[in-house]
Amino acid sequence: MAYWKIQLIGWFSVSFYWGFSAFFTGDFSWKIGVADFILDVFIGITLTHMYKNFAIRKGWNKLNLKKLVPKIAISILILSFLYMFLIVSKLYLVRLFILKGSMISFVVFFKSMELQIFITGTRLMSIWLLAYHLFHYSRLEIATVKENAQLSLRIKEAQLNNLSAQLNPHFFFNSLNNIKFLVLENPDSARRAIDLLSELLRNSLNSNVGRLVPLHDEINLVKDYLELEKIRFEERLQIKMEINVEVSKYLILPLSIQSLVENAIKHGIEKRKNGGFIMITIEEENNYINISVQNPGKLCKEIKGSGIGLNNLRERLLLQYNGNAFFKIKESIDETVLATILFPFK
């Protein structure tokens, strides 16, 4: 539909320009002007549409520029000759039919007009063919970009799903290990731990870990997990949370805070006889959601990222946010470890 609109507008404009120019020459006939206008549009559209069908049939739209340019040059030359012959013939026949007077021979008329019309035809056909192929290639380029973007998204989604698939087994394996200790030491606490684990499992099955989730959902998951760990560690685990409720509606990467908390317990609380505190802080900072988890401990090669949790978190952040989210972990002089994630608002 767009093709025919452009064809009609283009050739109508050219023919109208010629008719408008002829009107001010002082020797203008409305009959000749209308006939020239209609036939000029018809000839222009016919020649260019024939070329379009021929180019599609021959597969020229799939050629690279090196192969296409010579074919365009030859086509312009052929179309210009055809345009010259048809326009000169049209001019002669219209005047012969309408004026009904003595006319010079067609050969003499042709020779007097051929160069001017050939130059005009070459100019018009060059513009049309170049515009056609540029338009076609721009559409192909846009389609290619869209296909590449869709392919990139599918690859990214597959990578996120693969990474997310690592998290639930890893998380629930650790939780079941905790319950294993409680079964022998404190059966009542073990039953409560199983209830919490069931709730955690239910929440996990109801959400897609490959997608972003509201921050408050992630916080609720972390609270259940910490309650489960509190049953195990009792007084050895102290918990403090400072959460800006205004940012809790924003979306973040699922199991991100959970990974930091799990890492803090495994490499901090669990390895210290007296345990310690875990402090979770969530606040707004320069158009980012700043999430930090602080725990006692020291950094070692294992904590710095050789395990599943932190490596997984880094890769998921990179894939999901294209470098616009940041994660860092550092050790302070008072033997505490601070892990921080910066999420852009979404």
Q: Where are the domains of the chain?
A: 2-149, 212-344
Per the DSSP assignment, residues forming a β-bridge with 340 are: 292, 328
CA distance 198 to 196: 5
Dihedral, 83, 87, 93, 99 alpha carbons, nearest 10? 180
| Cβ atoms 259, 309 nearer than 8 A | yes
Residues 6+ apart with CB under 8 A from 336: 294, 295, 296, 297
Q: CA separation (Å) from 129 to 3, 63, 68, 115?
A: 13, 15, 11, 21
Between β-strands 237-243 and 276-285, what pairing exists: parallel, antiparallel or unpaired?
parallel
* DSSP codes, 331-343: E-TTSEEEEEEEE
Whether the CB-CB separation of 256 and 313 falls below 8 Å is answered with yes
Query: Could you give the CA distance from residue 125 to residue 122 in angstroms, rounded to a whole number?
Result: 5
Contact 54, 48 (CB under 8 A): no
pLDDT at 102: 61
pLDDT of 159? 56
Could you tell me if residue 282 is left (phi over 0), alpha (psi between -120 and 50 degrees) or otherwise beta?
beta
Distances (CA, A) of 62 to 53, 127, 244: 14, 20, 57
Local structure of 183: helix, strand or coil: helix
By CB atoms closer than 10 A (0-12, 13-18, 19+), residue 244 is middle
CA distance 141 to 149: 12
Q: What share of the chain is helix, strand, coil (3-state, %, to 5)?
A: 70, 15, 15
Q: Fold for 212-344, please state it.
A: Heat Shock Protein 90 (3.30.565)
- What's the CA gap between 183 and 194, in Å, rounded? 10
| Residuewise pLDDT in 10s, the chain (346 residues) | 778 888 888 888 888 888 777 777 756 678 888 888 899 999 999 999 999 999 989 888 878 878 888 999 999 999 999 999 999 999 888 888 887 766 688 888 888 888 999 999 999 999 999 988 888 888 777 777 777 776 566 666 655 555 555 545 656 776 777 777 777 777 777 788 788 777 776 766 555 555 788 999 889 889 988 888 887 788 899 999 999 988 888 999 888 898 899 889 888 888 888 889 999 999 998 889 999 999 998 887 555 444 566 887 888 888 788 889 999 999 888 789 999 999 998 6
Rounded to an integer, what is the distance from CA 191 to the centroid of its chain?
48
Based on the number of CB atoms within 10 Å of its own CB, is 104 exposed (0-12), middle (13-18) or buried (19 or more)? exposed
pTM here is 0.54
Predicted local confidence at residue 155, as pLDDT: 60
